[in-house]
Amino acid sequence: MENKQVRFAVIGIGSMGFAHVGNILRNSEYCALTAVCDINPAMFDKLSAEQKQTVKCYTNAEECFADENVDAVLIATPHYFHVPLVIQAMQH
């Protein structure tokens, strides 16, 4: 049986979101980080130069959810943003 990586997008890459980025990267046998999304583009500076070449950066969650290279999303925004983002994600 072939092992296929789940391609993740992390929505919100503040302190908690970036911790999740690290968890995904440490489990590269099963997971791949393909996208990140944050309303503040300065947050993308946390990514390494190598990650910036392989990870798509979005400032719009709807565009991130529509990315055909994303299998799953991890929402790491403040709690009060979770419901609308989950609904948008599920619509994709």
pLDDT of residue 12: 97
Kindly report, residue by residue over 41-54, the tens digit of the pLDDT.
999 999 988 898 99
pLDDT of residue 6: 97
The structure's pTM equals: 0.92
| Residue 24 pLDDT greater than 70, yes or no | yes
Percent of the chain with pLDDT over 70: 97
From CA 7, how far away is CA 54, in angstroms rounded? 12
SS in 3 state form for 9-32? EEECCCHHHHHHHHHHHHCCCCEE
- What would you report as the CA-atom Rg of the chain, rounded to the nearest whole angstrom? 12
From CA 56, how far away is CA 82, in angstroms rounded? 21
Percent of the chain with pLDDT over 90: 88
CA 82 to mean position of chain CA atoms: 14
